[in-house]
Amino acid sequence: MNSDNLPDTTGHDAPKEFCGVCGVYGVENVGATLYQGLFALQHRGQEGAGIATGDGRSVHSVRGLGLVSEVFQGNDWSRLPGHLGIGHVRYSTTGSSRIQNVQPLVVECVDGLWAVAHNGNLVNAGRLRKMYQEAGAIFQTSTDSEVLVHLLADPMYRMRPRRVCRALAELDGSFCFLLMTRNCMMAARDRYGFRPLSIGRLGNGYAVASETCALEQIGATFVRDVEPGELVVFDETGMHSSFFAEPPARGAASCIFEMIYFARPDSCVFGQNVHGVRVQYGRQLAQEHPIEADVVVAVPDSGNSAALGYSLESGIPLEFGFIRNHYVGRTFIMPQQKDRVSSVDLKLAVLPVSLRGKRVVVVDDSIVRGNTARRRVQRLREAGAKEVHVRISCPPIKHPCFYGIDFPTSSELIAGDMNVAEVCRFIEADSLGYLSLEGLFLPFGGAGRFCCACFNGDYPTDISGVTGSKVALETNPELKLDL
């Protein structure tokens, strides 16, 4: 293959995700509780964090760039009084990394203060934003999330019954929204069910979070998931449910990458324990791509469960080959490629004593761009591995995602231009095996309830007009203003 056609090697293999949300109603110590919940969701976003609380009279907010522990350093919870609140951790898939885009967004409408936190990507945000801007509306951020604020403030919705439901029904794409006024919290999930959102009971109150690991962290008991197309309202009269959208004709389209990579292993997502599903992926991978080898090693942390499954099924001993430096963070959610590439070698150390002279099966969750997989194979060989066989617990990623995963163009995807043999040669492995699409859905009895567009190009929504750029909603600096 001509070297001019090789993919860019400045990025990072793993996909990058969006955000995590957590909300509580009817609890004491709201700020501290949400802090703990967001801490459990830190893996979903490291660019910024924020909390907004309500005390029945006003809305209070603290937000900033950085990790949860950095934004809330000092833990002065007197700044966040009240009995309800919502929180957010951010990775920017729409809008650049700046303080204006950190959530929850807090805005003042004619009927009072609203706070909004969003996980996902709206595929019709550009059209709606342009419509409001041409009508004279002013946007304070470059995120797609702010579109909902303008819908809520629009007299066409504000003056009619079921105002929030009507506004949510205008949105298309993936979203889990937490909304809050000074005395009410709401949780909504898109009609496709792309992203997980779970409800828990916390004492006499309630909690909502992107993953059940956050509910467990704050001591809440899981009740159920928010259903696709559902709006759940929490107020002084309890919990109430209504639906703003009918299920799509093709059925739900939950993001399978939550299972493969994003979610924490101790979470239950889409009704299944994440660790258990990943172990099954590893077992299936061993059946589909067996190899004679001496040790199985995982690429931590998201490859751990699949590597265990591969070892159990194949009978090849599981060994420590990589040691993760937990102080580097998850390089997949670093927004700039130069930051990701500088962190590749810092993130994982190699353990030569486990590898020297051995035939190694290395199990990872995905290959996106190919550069990091190539570097890891090189490091295993430098440590003395005799053979390196790469096994991936998902199919080849060939198509861009428009629902919150930051690989928006096919040119960024190594499997978009190369077949398996060519990818194997590029990463310099002795063999390469991907989990089949059929194997991916075996734990669920079929693919009907999941979105797998990044593997097969079958998108659940209309994506015409979507640019795929995370800065598509930014103001054009070259635009000439007519003063």
Omega prior to 301 cis, within 30 of 0: yes
Distance separating alpha carbons of residues 206 and 199, to the nearest angstrom:
7
For the chain, give the longest Cα–Cα distance: 73
Distance separating alpha carbons of residues 379 and 8, to the nearest angstrom:
19
User: Which of 5, 145, 191, 90 has its CA nearest to residue 406?
Assistant: 90
User: Which of 365, 364, 323 has its CA nearest to residue 345?
Assistant: 323
Alpha-carbon torsion, ordered 255, 260, 262, 264, to 10 deg: 120
The first and second tokens of residue 26, run together, are: 């009817």
Distance separating alpha carbons of residues 147 and 167, to the nearest angstrom:
10
The first and second tokens of residue 133, run together, are: 């801007």
Residue 37's CB: how many other CB atoms inside 10 A?
33
Of the candidates 19, 213, 424, 452, the residue annotated as catalytic is 19
For residue 319, the SS3 value is: strand
Q: Decide if 165 is catalytic.
A: no
Distance separating alpha carbons of residues 206 and 291, to the nearest angstrom:
49
Rounded to 5°, the CA angle 85-195-367 comes to 125
Residue 239's CB: how many other CB atoms inside 10 A?
17
Is-contact 127 142, C-beta < 8 A? no
Name the packing angle between helices 420-427 and 371-382 (round to 10°). Answer: 50
Give the pairing type, strands 84-90 and 431-434.
unpaired
Distance separating alpha carbons of residues 280 and 228, to the nearest angstrom:
26
Q: Residue 309: phi, psi to the nearest 5?
A: -60, -40
Q: Which helix (H) or strand (E) holds 59?
A: strand 59-65
- The alpha carbons of the chain give a radius of gyration, in whole angstroms, of 23
- For 244: left if phi > 0, alpha if psi spans -120 to 50, otherwise beta; the answer is alpha
Q: Which residue numbers are catalytic? A: 19
